[in-house]
Chains A and B, each alone.
Chain A
């Protein structure tokens, strides 16, 4: 299967080298044949894909513009709802859930000519960093099949790395796009909070949730983001700020761009990751960037702050899964209360229960001020760190994760250590700034590592400009 880009598909369609229908059929057949290796897809959508592909072909035949994503095979994380197409959130509770509506990001990418070929596996309700918390089995990393793809958007990262989709949609609440992109050796973008509508994204932590793209090159992420970004009246938290021209920003010119490298991130970074990040920074200097060390003094408090806020919000958001409206229901229950309790105990996996309990605890009487309000105050301090840093620099660069992809099962018994590895990603979500991972080489073991780039609110254009310039000069 050719490793297509959005541009190569457009060119092939317009030159009549292949039709969108041929490409969709070929992509579906390839994805279905390859999927047993990784378990990255949970559901394929051949009917929907072929209907969309035929519509693209009809537009081309009629001489109309088929749209910026014409014929592009796209995979969608299974926490994003698709009308008439099963959406499980990788949970037993929603194993048979058929949504009655489409997420706004899904509507926009299909209107742009994108072809949804399937829904991808993930950690249950997007909670996890390894994709091992799926009710439908873990995803394997296509780069090293005995390792995790990262999480929670592990399936969406794996399908792009495996070339069973050209681009995909994921969601990021504490690193769930950037970390799997890093682990699988691809690009993943978490836009500014509110840049992309979350209408139809199953809520995990509403003040932190984002939808964003995965791709094999920076340009394709820019193209997909261009399509899904922008105000949506169905999501009151979506931003009205105008959407920049992301493709125009990919001009390769980063001379004079001021970059900050957080001291607190680089100190103590293991060499297998740190050496690659240092090499990437050296490359950015060669491209004309001015690099300086900066301080993010509250780095050590970020994970604690994050896990209070995200679990508190999750405990409220997940209360809707109660056996009444859309989930399965425990058969044994005789009273309403027992029905809730037993349905939820049978339906949620261990990680969801852990977070629901923790979130309920930090919100409960007597602990609310000590934990939840305290965390919101620390969130303000962390944001202040970034505001001060961005007075000195245009963008921040550093690692995504302290380590590359680990082995399946290696960290299952130690949730606290898994949480601590989120140290470099959670602050992007806590502050709401745009951030992304772009591949910056492999460890001596051959495992991919991503360089994280973070920029100011709504400055996706400069972040993508830097990532694209770096990519052009490394591959």
Chain B
């Protein structure tokens, strides 16, 4: 599968990645190479095969549920401690809605 620079820009938009023009050229080349190999999967007839989403799924639906017991979680101070911009216990981000 050949990936165009336009494809890369569209996917980058979906992935919230600003790419430089140079990066777009490189990525189009690399992705084309990898997807060409990936096209090999089309050789296989998988019409009657169930998709495998996870390994070790042969357990009851509730096998992984724990008791619902209240207990302390991360403190507010710990939760915002690594934020690049925080204040009053909140994360701060650029203005989203103009009033």
Contacts and interface: CB of A to CB of B under 8 A. Distances in A.
B33 A416 contact: yes
A380 B8 contact: no
Contacts of A358: 31, 34-35
B51 A364 contact: no
A237 B51 contact: no
Interface in A264-307: 298, 300-301, 303-305, 307
Nearest to B65: A236
Contacts of A100: 74, 78-79, 81-82
A300 B44 CA distance: 11
B84 interface: yes
Interface in B1-41: 3, 7-8, 11-12, 14-20, 23, 26-27, 30-31, 33-35, 37-41
A353 B31 contact: no
Closest 9 CB pairs of A and B: A432-B55, A376-B51, A341-B18, A377-B46, A329-B84, A380-B52, A100-B78, A236-B64, A377-B49
A428 to B, nearest CB: 11
Given A98-B81, A344-B17, A360-B11, A416 B52 contact: no
Interface stretch (A3-11, A56-64, A248-256, A330-338): A330-338
Contacts of B80: 325
Contacts of B14: 360, 364
Given A207-B53, A207-B55, A379-B52, A348 B17 contact: yes
A344 B39 CA distance: 29
B11 to A, nearest CB: 5
B7 to A, nearest CB: 7
Contacts of B43: 301
Contacts of B20: 345
A383 interface: yes
Interface-central residue, B39, B52, B82, by most chain A CB under 10 Å:
B52
B30 to A, nearest CB: 5
Interface in A329-376: 329, 333-342, 344-345, 348, 350, 353-354, 356-358, 360-361, 364, 371, 373-376
Nearest to B16: A340
A370 B82 CA distance: 40
A240 B40 contact: no
A30 interface: no
B99 interface: no
B93 interface: yes
Nearest to A371: B38
Nearest to A416: B33
25 contacts: A96-B82, A100-B81, A194-B55, A207-B54, A308-B38, A319-B16, A324-B91, A325-B80, A338-B18, A344-B17, A353-B17, A353-B19, A354-B27, A354-B30, A357-B31, A375-B41, A376-B51, A376-B52, A377-B49, A377-B51, A377-B52, A378-B46, A380-B51, A416-B33, A431-B55
